Amino acid sequence: MYTTESGHAKNVANFEQLLTVLASYGSTYSPSKPELSISNLQTVLQNSKQALLTVHNTFTTWKNATNDREIDFLVLRPLSTRLLSALIACGATEQTVNDLRTINRKIQGSHSKLTKADAGRMAGGDTALPTTPGEEAGEIPKHISVSQRSFDSQIDHFEKLIILLNSEARYTPAESDLQVTTLQSHLTSFKTRNTAAFSAYTALSNARIARNKILYHETDGLVILVRAVKAYIKSQYGSYSQEYELVNRIKFVKVVRKIR
């Protein structure tokens, strides 16, 4: 089944419609199970709406954080190449130049292990979370995990590059953007942006997990409550009653697997 965020929103919207129908039955809707009472169902509705809103807000925060990280990292590859040239120009030994050349090669080649989606993110492209069923269940997408490791690796490579340049006494460039202090500022910024992006994704994952529990928990989730409500209406009015037909035509989609 192909699923998107709209599937969750549709379930919540249909649940609100169902409550409107139940309210129209007045005092004749009087289930013995407290969980099926109008007041409890209204609480579930409000919690569901808030859960959807939290996912939307955390998604925006995550997207902004990844955008900021991508923009910050755009300087890394061209800067690394300039630093190699600057090291050669200062008269460093061939061994030292080769060591930095190896580090630069790793920085330049980090994208080769990424999926096309990851490469787009790191180049400043699309940052939207994919919407496959597994990801909708709150699982961390594998390609995002790969992308995170790539950013971690680039930070590690850049830090080694700075250490190497700082150890070379002849490396004293006049250009301020090539000086070690400036490079250390870049490194600090890279680490800060990377941590912010990962923290934002963790918050988004947790928000999705919380939403999924409210909507799809197998004992008291929204979808389970709907089934119980429909069963109660069916028992009260009959399988072929207009009352049951009215609630039964309101459809709900099982977007994620069972959640305990």
- What phi-psi label fits residue 91: left (phi over 0), alpha (psi between -120 and 50 degrees) or beta? left
What per-residue confidence (pLDDT) applies to 5?
63
Instruction: Please state whether the predicted TM-score (pTM) of the whole model is above 0.75.
Output: yes
Does 47 fall in a domain?
A: yes
Q: What was the pLDDT predicted at 15?
A: 97
**Residue 253 within any structural domain of the chain:** no
What SS3 class is residue 259?
strand
Mean pLDDT along residues 127-136: 38
In a domain, 21, yes or no: yes
Say whether pLDDT at 143 is over 70. no
The more confident residue out of 176 and 115 is 176
- Where residue 254 falls among pLDDT bands split at 50, 70, 90? confident
Handedness of CA 7, 8, 9, 12 (dihedral sign): positive
At 145 the pLDDT is 57
Give the C-alpha distances (Å, rounded to integers) separating 48 from 24, 35, 104, 177, 222.
22, 15, 49, 50, 8
230: containing domain? 5-248
The pLDDT value recorded for residue 160 is: 97
Q: Is residue 31 part of a domain?
A: yes
Domain assignment present for 194: yes
Mean pLDDT, residues 135-146: 48
| Number of domains observed in the structure of the chain | 1
The per-residue pLDDT for 54 is 98
Q: Is residue 260 part of a domain?
A: no
Q: What count of other Cβ atoms lies within 10 Å of the Cβ of residue 214? A: 21
